[in-house]
């Protein structure tokens, strides 16, 4: 299995260097482009009415129900796309082995991050435990940070670590998610975050429990302000999961 995975990776690398095809539909694109114009247009962009705090799409203008009950620990969160259709498929592929997709994702999201977070002084990846990283082979959040860092000339502040493994969040309600994550992040290098305005970068915002927990750890270590950017977010329909 591993062997075939390796071959797949070589083929993709060769492909990368010799062909320019859209990472979503496979049609030809201009040199250096990752996603074709047609795919770009048909993606589920996050726009219209969004919650001014968590940035998720809402039915009516204004702060969403969940933020009213308990706002995230970050000052402001924003995302480029809704986690549905082609966008969620792209994120799932990116997280399930298709590492090279970090370029497509950053290309799609660059303008949002530029426009929404002019005050950011550093990009913070969501850390994984060493074991989880070995299993996947890479930290997708760190890959996004590194590529944004090259494009925005902002440093990557990889100062936090995840101290213990947590249960998968998928099946948990909002409160359970918070409890599951409590105390899992630790910032060892306090000097790297002290007094800074930091932007957490991740692939998806569901309830925001992960970015909130990481934000708390960064603030405890002395960060002045913390924001969050995620490539995609789940539309806010009704209070999330069980309470
Ligand atoms: Zn395409
Ligand atoms: Zn909200």
pLDDT tens string 150-196: 999 999 999 999 998 888 887 788 788 888 888 899 998 999 999 99
Nearest ligand, measured from the Cα of 40: 1
Nearest ligand, measured from the Cα of 27: 1
Give 32 or 243, the one with higher predicted confidence: 32
Banded pLDDT at 9 (limits 50, 70, 90): confident
| Centroid of ligand 1 to alpha carbon of 35 (angstroms) | 5
Residue 175 is predicted with a pLDDT of: 82
Q: Whole domain around residue 11: which residue ranges?
A: 1-42
| Centroid of ligand 1 to alpha carbon of 105 (angstroms) | 13
Nearest ligand, measured from the Cα of 77: 2
Mean pLDDT of 215-220: 98
Is there a domain that residue 14 lies in?
yes
Q: What is the pLDDT of residues 56-84, one digit of tens each?
A: 999 988 999 999 999 999 999 999 999 99
Three-class SS of residue 144?
Answer: helix
Residues 77 and 192 reside in one and the same domain:
yes
| Centroid of ligand 1 to alpha carbon of 30 (angstroms) | 11
Residues 21 and 58 reside in one and the same domain:
no
Mean pLDDT of 21-45: 94
| Centroid of ligand 1 to alpha carbon of 38 (angstroms) | 6
Residues 6 and 98 reside in one and the same domain:
no
Which helix (DSSP H) or strand (DSSP E) does residue 124 occupy? strand 122-125
The percent of residues in the chain predicted with pLDDT above 90, rounded, is 74
Residues 35 and 50 reside in one and the same domain:
no
CA 198 – CA 206 distance, rounded (Å):
20
Residue 15 is predicted with a pLDDT of: 62
CB-based contact 66:54 (threshold 8 Å): yes
Residues 101 and 219 reside in one and the same domain:
yes
The percent of residues in the chain predicted with pLDDT above 70, rounded, is 94
The whole-chain average pLDDT of the chain stands at 91
Is there a domain that residue 88 lies in?
yes
Among 145, 206, 198, smallest CA distance to 181 is for 206
Q: What is the CATH number of the domain that holds 195?
A: 3.40.50
| Centroid of ligand 1 to alpha carbon of 133 (angstroms) | 30
Instruction: Please check the confidence at residue 242 and state whether its pLDDT lies above 50.
Output: no
Would you state the structure tokens that stand for residue 192, as one six-digit string?
A: 């790297």
Residues 127 and 224 reside in one and the same domain:
yes
Would you state the structure tokens that stand for residue 13, as one six-digit string?
A: 């690398």
Give 238 or 125, the one with higher predicted confidence: 125
Instruction: Please check the confidence at residue 239 and state whether its pLDDT lies above 80.
Output: no
Residue 119 per-residue DSSP state: T
Is there a domain that residue 156 lies in?
yes
Residue 196 is predicted with a pLDDT of: 98
Residues 132 and 14 reside in one and the same domain:
no
| Centroid of ligand 2 to alpha carbon of 36 (angstroms) | 31
| Centroid of ligand 2 to alpha carbon of 237 (angstroms) | 11
Mean pLDDT of 119-146: 95
CA 207 – CA 169 distance, rounded (Å):
10
Banded pLDDT at 203 (limits 50, 70, 90): very high
Residue 126 per-residue DSSP state: P
| Centroid of ligand 2 to alpha carbon of 50 (angstroms) | 8
CA 164 – CA 41 distance, rounded (Å):
40
Is there a domain that residue 80 lies in?
yes
Nearest ligand, measured from the Cα of 39: 1
Per the structure, the count of domains in the chain is 2
Instruction: Please check the confidence at residue 241 and state whether its pLDDT lies above 60.
Output: no
Give 16 or 123, the one with higher predicted confidence: 123
Is there a domain that residue 239 lies in?
no
Residues 161 and 196 reside in one and the same domain:
yes
Is there a domain that residue 124 lies in?
yes
Give 179 or 86, the one with higher predicted confidence: 86
Residue 182 is predicted with a pLDDT of: 87
Residues 205 and 120 reside in one and the same domain:
yes
Among 59, 121, 72, 49, smallest CA distance to 230 is for 72
- The total of other beta-carbon atoms located within 10 Å of residue 143's CB is 21
Among 103, 105, 109, 107, smallest CA distance to 79 is for 109
Among 243, 194, 197, smallest CA distance to 65 is for 243
Residues 108 and 155 reside in one and the same domain:
yes
| Centroid of ligand 1 to alpha carbon of 29 (angstroms) | 8
Is there a domain that residue 86 lies in?
yes
| Centroid of ligand 2 to alpha carbon of 74 (angstroms) | 11
Residues 52 and 3 reside in one and the same domain:
no
Residues 182 and 163 reside in one and the same domain:
yes
Instruction: Please check the confidence at residue 243 and state whether its pLDDT lies above 70.
Output: no
Instruction: Please check the confidence at residue 16 and state whether its pLDDT lies above 70.
Output: no
| Centroid of ligand 1 to alpha carbon of 228 (angstroms) | 28
| Centroid of ligand 2 to alpha carbon of 62 (angstroms) | 8
| Centroid of ligand 2 to alpha carbon of 4 (angstroms) | 43
Is there a domain that residue 243 lies in?
no
Residue 1 is predicted with a pLDDT of: 64
């Amino acid at each position: 299995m591993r062997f075939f995975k390796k071959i797949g990776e070589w083929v993709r690398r060769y492909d990368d260097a010799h062909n320019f095809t859209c990472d979503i539909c496979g049609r030809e694109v201009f040199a250096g482009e990752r996603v074709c114009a047609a795919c770009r247009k048909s993606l589920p962009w996050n726009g219209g009415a969004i919650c001014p705090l968590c940035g998720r799409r809402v039915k009516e203008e204004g702060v969403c129900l969940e933020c009213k009950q308990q706002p995230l620990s970050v000052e402001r969160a924003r995302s480029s796309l809704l986690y549905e259709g082609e966008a969620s498929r792209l994120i799932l592929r990116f997280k399930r082995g298709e590492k090279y997709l970090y370029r497509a994702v950053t290309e799609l999201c660059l303008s949002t991050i530029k426009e929404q977070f002019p005050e950011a002084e550093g990009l913070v990846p969501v850390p994984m435990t060493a074991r989880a990283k070995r299993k996947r082979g890479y930290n997708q959040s760190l890959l996004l940070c590194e590529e944004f860092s090259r494009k925005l000339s902002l440093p990557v502040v990889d100062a936090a670590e995840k101290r213990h493994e947590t249960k998968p969040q998928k099946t948990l309600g909002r409160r359970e998610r918070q409890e599951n994550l409590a105390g899992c992040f630790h910032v060892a290098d306090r000097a790297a975050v002290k007094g800074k305005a930091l932007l957490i970068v991740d692939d998806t915002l569901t309830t925001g429990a992960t970015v909130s927990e990481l934000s708390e750890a960064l603030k405890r270590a002395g960060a002045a302000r913390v924001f969050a950017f995620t490539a995609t977010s789940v539309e806010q329909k009704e209070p999330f999961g069980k309470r």
